[in-house]
Amino acid sequence: MSYQLDLIVHLVGRSFLLRYKGSLLGVLWSLLLPLSQLIVLVFLFEKVVPLNIDSYPAFVFTALLPWNWFGVAVSSAGGLFLGNRDLVRRPNFAPWILTIVNTLSHLLTYVFFLPVLFVFLLLWGREVTPWLLLLPLLILMQGFLIAGLGLIIGTLNVFYRDVEHIVSVAVMLLFYLTPVFYRSDMVGEKYRLLYDLNPIAVLIESYRAILYQAAAPEWNSLLVAGSMCLGVCGLGYLVYQHQLHNVFDTL
C-alpha cells in the first residue's frame, strides 16, 4: 500500500509537470487558460447578453474551476491505458492507478487556483463562512465521479477507439447542460430533471452555494449526487475488472 501511494504521488507530479514541459510559460498555462475562459464568459454575459447576475465574475469562477477539472480529466481519460502501454504491461503494476493519477494531476490546477478564487470572492464582496468546510467533501465526491468515468472510458477505448471522440463531444454538450455561466433557476421546470440527474451539475451548484452564496448546499440533491458518484465509481471498477485480461491482450 505504501509503495502504491508513493507511486501515485510520483506519477501525479510527473504528469502535471510533463503537461507543460517545453512550453515557454510552463505551469503558468494552467493559470492563464481558465482566466481567458473567464474573461470571455464575463464579456459575453455581462456586456453582450447580460444575465443580470450579481458579482458575475465570482459567480462564474466558482463553477468554472471545478468544471474544468471535470471536463479536462474526463476528456483525457481515453488515452490512459493506450498511452501508457509500457507501464500497464509492467509486472505488479495496477492499471487503475492511472485513473487516480489522471484525477489528481488535474485536481492540482484547481487547488493552485483556490487562492485566486478566494481573492475574487473578496473583491466582489462575497462572504467566507463555515460552509466552506464542506469543500473537501465536494472535491472527494467529484474525484469519485471522475475516477469512475475514467475507468469506464479508459477501458472501453482500448477496444473501441471512437469512445474518446464521443466523450469529447459529450463533454462539450454537457457544459451547456451544467449551470456554469447561468443560474439553474433559469431553467424551465419541465427540464429540471436533466439537472437533478446530472451529478456534476449538482456538484457545481453545491460549490457555488458554499463559496458564492455563503449558504448550505441543497442536501437532498447532494445526497443523490453523492450516491451517483459512488455508483459510477463502482461501475467503473467493475467494467475495468471484467475487461482487464482483455486489455492486457489487446495492448
Please state, in angstroms and rounded to a whole number, the distance separating the CA atoms of residues 30 and 17.
11
- For the chain, the 3-state helix, strand and coil shares in percent, each to the nearest 5, are 80, 0, 20
Specify the pTM: 0.92
Furthest C-alpha separation in the chain: 57
pLDDT at 154: 95
**Cα 78 from Cα 49, distance rounded (Å):** 36
pLDDT at 22: 62
Domain ranges across the chain: 2-250
At residue 193, the pLDDT reads: 79
- Each of the 251 residues of the chain gets a pLDDT tens digit; together they read 566 788 888 888 888 777 766 666 666 776 777 888 899 999 999 889 888 898 999 999 999 999 999 999 999 999 999 988 888 888 888 899 999 999 999 998 898 888 889 988 988 888 888 999 999 999 999 999 999 999 999 999 999 999 999 999 999 999 998 999 998 888 777 788 778 889 999 999 999 999 999 899 999 999 999 999 999 999 999 999 999 999 888 87
Closest CA to 157 of 167, 170, 142: 167
Q: Which amino acid is at 1?
A: M
Spacing of C-alpha 62 from chain mean position: 13
Alpha helix positions (H), the chain? 2-18, 29-42, 56-75, 85-88, 97-123, 135-159, 162-176, 192-196, 199-211, 219-250
